Structure 1
Amino acid sequence: MTGALTAAQAMAAAAARLRAAGVDNPARDARVLLAHAARIEAARVTLIAPEELEHDVAERYEQLIALRAIRVPVSHLLGEREFYGRRFKVSSDVLDPRPETETLVEAALAEPFERVLDLGVGSGCILVTLLAERTDACGLGVDLSEAACLQASANAVLHRVEARADIRQSDWFGAVDGQFDLIVSNPPYIALEEMAGLSEEVRGHEPHLALTDGGDGLGAYRHIAAGVAAHLAPKGRLIVEIGPTQAQAVCDVFAQVGFEDLVVVPDLDGRDRVICARLR
């Protein structure tokens, strides 16, 4: 790619390169990354299509396409990802916010809450969204990763909920005190044997700590079940994201420690995605 190419020509060449590299949706990625290189909104790319790319834009675009061709996620190249109508800063230190996790947010917002605990806060997308949507609520987010805690804190500031968001480094309930009327978690639920089947974008660029428990994919739910009773207020709710084949197994884990009213909520694709539960 050189400055002699028009934006349209550069996009076409980039899309062909990404397609050859096995990237899904190469035309979309080529367009989004050109907008980022040109520092314009993606909707304006059509307007600059006939124009020759300036040299600095062409250089930035070349670097972005080269990285995308080796499967660096688009969100990491942009430094952000949209979630529930807001943009969240992301990096290789945290799990990318995903549309299916919005199912958990919707379930949480279906009833009032005042104090929320997010176990494995990651980017902060769940906790920050819940606090942004419920301006009278406060929350605690914990994560074993210090880098994730820093990212969550930055996103809390970005969306102006930092005064109501306490972010702590913690191994599950280790640094948690008090009780909460809502506890949420999108824990690592991919079994170790399933990791090889993930896309290179996920397997090679997202933190394995946030993806897998290194075992059968149910270890996180067992940790949550073992400690949640001490921190869930009477009539409080526990809401967790699950893998699409785990509903019965996770329900069994929670039922064994006294949870009832176990409800499985599907995502927009109809796959089991969230479990809502209450203690007896």
Structure 2
Amino acid sequence: IPAAPEDVCVRKSSNTCCVSQEEKAPVARIVRIDACGIQCPGPILKLKTSMEQLQSGECLEIRATDAGFPRDAEAWCRMTGNRFVSAQTENGTYIVRVEKATPCAMEVSHPVSTAKGKTFILFSDDLDKVLATFVLANGAAATGEKVTIFFTFWGLNAIKKTEKPKVKKDWFGKMFGVMLPSDSMKLKLSKMNMGGMGARMMRHIMKRKGIDSLESLRRQAIENGVEFIACQMSMDVMGVKKEELLDHVTIGGVATYMGRAEEANVNLFI
């Protein structure tokens, strides 16, 4: 559908490898997306998936109520090579316009690097720390980079199935099974847990504020290609069987993680 006159988005790039100097800048189509009511990293993930549907030179206008979104969108453009056109506020809504760059413009502004991945070691099973891990992982995945989460020791509790099959365990494995959270819904807060009341209150507030739940963030990470690796040694020590973990999870050891870390420029231990 042709854009209305006031919805014209004109390409102003000085790059000439794809467009001749004599060629007139085309009138670009504008696609409008509503990301209101959802919090980080939701708007950025919507920005990424929506931009994938656009042709080079077309514009995306996305509306969000997340106050940090305009700055996040500008940073996302710097990392992906797309052009940040504008940002404005209208009655508490943040309106951001982004232009999809041509492939050659992306190559010039965003050269290929041999180490651009992100890795996370999730050692903790505290609800707040696990939430932070998946928020960061989804944000990194939204830039199109390779992201890996290495789940070790207590972090394994974040990727257990809710409905687990019956598996044979030794005495120590059974004891760990009784003492540890059975799945992500049973994770506790690192502070002010108050016998589980704090964790329930946290989930309630997140729902009221439009923030995705831990389980939703985990699902989004899987859909965005984030690699989940469970530490084999930790599984052996804590009596966790592969059948108890999410189907998406692969098993690896320290060498597997170090291989991913070698290819990354950010490695975080949480």
Of Structure 1 and Structure 2, the greater helix share is in 1
TM-score (norm 1): 0.23
Which one has the largest radius of gyration? 2
Q: Which has the higher contact order (CA 8 A, sep 6+)?
A: 2
